Structure 1
Amino acid sequence: MRQPVRPIAGLLAGAAGASAVALGAFGAHALRGVLDDRGVELWHTAVNYHFWHALALCLAVFFLHAPHRRRATVAFGVGIVLFSGSLYALALGAPRWLGAVTPLGGVAFIVGWLLLGLGAARRGA
């Protein structure tokens, strides 16, 4: 039986992957010469985590059943917004206090991976 969360989670995974590619290209082309070395490093880290966790969202969508899929999807989505989003903002010159948000995104990523593993174990994968 199809679960109603799957289309939403699938759209989120696709949007996360597409936005990771777009932001990576934007950083490589439009921000070349605009960002200092630290900004480039922050942008690269943000894109890297953004993309890997877009792939993790795909794993959750295709291999987990609700409620684990829903919880893992939310955790990965929150992680992308908080972790990568704060790094993108910092690279563009946001106030340094925004860096306090970044570890919260990291915790969300960790929770997402734990939920992914738990869901896979309960599924018998």
Structure 2
Amino acid sequence: MLGAFGAHGLKAILSPSALATFEIGVRYQMYHGLAIIALPALSAYVSPKWLNAVAALYVIGCALFSGSLYLLAITGNGLFGPITPLGGLCFIIGWIALAIAIVNGKTSKGKSND
């Protein structure tokens, strides 16, 4: 919905640069939203504790990264810019945590990784 809003509702209002910023926020939110939806498919292989942590990192990343880009694009206020890397860091930590969880698996020598 945000992508359609940006493409149709904001196209006449925002500069091309601001619209591109908004679209980056939409893209990363979509990628990580799809990743969150896919996480339960890994539940047979990865501890729910890890999956919940990864999902939380993705949600926080979306709020900080995409949210700050939306606010930056719409308001033009540069104060929101420094928030964006914090969201990106949450995304990166989430992907690293997911990789570690997959490598470790749900059990290690019969013991739970919870």
**TM-score, scaled relative to structure 1:** 0.77
Which residue is 1:25 aligned to? Answer: 4
Q: Residue 50 of structure 1 is aligned with which of 29, 41, 49?
A: 29
Alpha-carbon distance change, 59 to 117 in structure 1, aligned in 2, over 3 angstroms = farther
For the pair shown, the structure with the greater C-alpha radius of gyration is: 2
Which structure 1 segments of 5+ residues have no match? 1-21
Runs (4+) of structure 1 moved beyond 4 Å?
Answer: none
Per-residue CA deviation, residues 78-117 of structure 1 (Å, 9 max, x unaligned), is: 0000000000011101521111100000000001101111
| Structure 2 portions without partners, runs of 5+ | 107-114
Question: Of residues 79, 91, 94 in structure 2, which corresponds to 1:112?
Answer: 94
Alpha-carbon distance in structure 1 between the residues aligned to 2:36 and 2:72: 24
After superposition, the C-alpha distances for 1:52-99 in whole angstroms (9 at most, x for unaligned) are: 111221232321432101110110000000000000011101521111
Residue 99 (structure 1) aligned to one of 81, 89, 92: 81
**Structure-2 separation of matches of 1:49 and 1:89:** 15
User: Does the Cα contact within 8 Å between 1:68 and 1:116 map onto a contact in 2?
Assistant: yes
Count matched residues: 103
Residues 1-25 of structure 1 show CA distances to partners (whole Å, capped at 9, x for unaligned) of xxxxxxxxxxxxxxxxxxxxx1001
Which whole-Å deviations, capped at 9, do the CAs of 1:30-61 have from their partners, x for residues lacking one?
11211101111101110111111112212323
- Percent identical among aligned pairs is 34
- How much is the aligned-residue C-alpha RMSD, in angstroms? 1.3
Match in the other structure for 1:9 = none
Aligned residue type for 1:82: L
User: If the length of structure 2 is used for normalisation, what is the TM-score?
Assistant: 0.84
